[in-house]
Amino acid sequence: MKPASRAVHAGRDLGARSPLAPDLSPAAVHVFTDLEDYEAVASGEKPGHFYGRNSNSNREMLERAVAELEGGQAGVATASGMAALHGAILALAPKPTTIVATRELYGGTSALLRQDLEPAGYEIHFVDLTDLDAVRRAIGDAGLVIAETITNPLCRVADLAAIAAMARERGVPFLVDNTFATPLLCRPLDLGATAVMHSATKYLGGHSDLVAGVIVGDALTMGVARARASRTGTPLGPFDAWLALRGLRTLDVRMRRHSENALILARAMRSLAGVARVHHPLLEDSPSYPVARRLMPNGSGGMMAFDLEGGRAAVQRMIKRFSLATFAASLGGVETTISYPEITSHRSMSSEERAELGVGPGTVRVSVGIEDPADIVADFTQALS
Ligand SMILES: Cc1ncc(COP(=O)(O)O)c(C=O)c1O
């Protein structure tokens, strides 16, 4: 099946009288009449569910669907993207080691690395992953490499295939946060990554109405992640899994439209008054353009950013003037939203650290929605006029 069809059908086996949309199964526990039957289900010998923290039919369907879309053997769905990230890190690097992570990491991820893993003995090296020589130098003594397909907020794209090859050569696991691209636009496992994680809160769900995460990888690693998720109590609840799967069914059409709209807005914004710089990986003058074209030939999704002259005061004026776009500290929904990294995704960094990354007081991240592009461009144009 082609990816668009897979998004529609993945994760389920329909037979005669199957519900076409999955039933919602909120049961915390299932009843058994035979002790041996319970033992067989609880040990995984037989399919079925016995307790909601261990497994659930809605969660299982979502896990199978995302694993199928990413081209992995198995998936684990968690209560948030952060739980997925933490679970993936502990599955790939269970003992304190050196983690090489992209310098432009999502703020929540760098907070997890610094505030939870560093005190536990992990050493974190933040590296510009678009600089392959720097990666080669850093990877030597690493126990894990973490990258994002498209960085947050400046939308840079590192050569994941080259990094995966270096990691593989040295036997270092490579984890990719594929939240911004989704498996419809990029499949990091095909490029050589060991595992992939998602904040399904974003594009996979797609409607800003749930918080969820998913990890995908080989069956052994996912077995480890699943067992720990059960022990630590981080699995995704049934209704959020049901909603995420409902959203996933339209992923292909949404990602096409997000990709088209973001490129239209990025091009239009280059000539708007007060816009100093526009960041979009598929703008020809982006430093990431050649790599992004190669890794994401069908588009790069709805994320872009721009730097506004006049800093925070100018950003505030723009927000007050919006009639279609809104300020909301998330991304990946059908509506066009903006985020202000200084006080949202990157608030745990100092202003010096943000400046080093190129994130200034005028940096605005846009999650371009699926509205008519003419309306989106018109709203930014009037808001900045
Ligand atoms: C790239 C990326 N990864 C991970 C996360 C964390 O996901 P969640 O908020 O679902 O825990 C986010 C959230 O904004 C994100 O943008």
Predicted confidence (pLDDT) per residue in 84-94, tens digit: 999 999 999 99
Residues 272-292 pLDDT 10s: 989 999 999 999 999 999 999
Q: Is the CB of 211 under 6 A from ligand 1?
A: yes
Report d(CA 22, CA 56) in Å as an integer.
12
- 213-217: strand order across its sheet: 74-78, 213-217, 195-199, 174-177, 144-148, 98-102, 123-127
Question: Is the CB of 213 within 6 Å of ligand 1?
Answer: yes
Q: What is the DSSP string of 97-150?
A: -EEEEETT--HHHHHHIIIIITTTT-EEEEE-TT-HHHHHHHHTT-SEEEEESS
Percentage of the residues of the chain whose pLDDT score is greater than 70: 100
State in Å: Cα 203 to ligand 1 middle. 11
Q: Is 203 in the pocket of ligand 1 (CB under 6 A)?
A: no
Alpha carbons 119 and 125: distance in angstroms, whole number: 14
pLDDT band of 350, cuts 50, 70, 90: confident
Report the separation in Å between the CA atom of 81 and the middle of ligand 1, taken as the mean of its atom positions. 5
Per cent of the chain over pLDDT 90 is 94
Residue 188 pLDDT? 98
Active site residue 177: yes
**pLDDT for 141 beyond 90:** no
Strands 303-308 and 363-367 come out as antiparallel
Catalytic residue among 59, 64, 103, 106, which?
106
Distance 331 CA to ligand 1 centre (A): 9
Determine the distance from the C-alpha atom of residue 109 to the mean position of all C-alpha atoms in its chain, rounded to a whole number. 11
Rounded to the nearest whole angstrom, what is the distance from the C-alpha of residue 37 to the centroid of ligand 1? 39
Annotated catalytic residue: which of 12, 51, 53, 168?
53
- Alpha-carbon distance of 243 to 287, in angstroms, equals 37
Q: Mean of the pLDDT values across residues 17-43? A: 97
Residue 190 predicted with pLDDT over 90: yes
- Confidence class of residue 137 from pLDDT cuts 50, 70 and 90? very high
pLDDT tens-place string over residues 204-262: 999 999 999 999 999 999 999 999 999 999 999 999 999 999 999 999 999 999 999 99
Q: What is the mean pLDDT of residues 327-351?
A: 93
Distance CA 323, CA 379 (A): 6
Q: Is 53 a catalytic residue?
A: yes
106 is catalytic: yes
The active-site residue, picked from 6, 59, 202, 354, is: 202
pLDDT at 171 over 90: yes
Average pLDDT along the chain: 97
Kindly state the average pLDDT of the residues 178-197. 98
Is residue 347 very low, low, confident or very high in pLDDT (cuts 50, 70, 90)?
A: confident
Residue nearest atom 8 of ligand 1, based on CA coordinates: 81
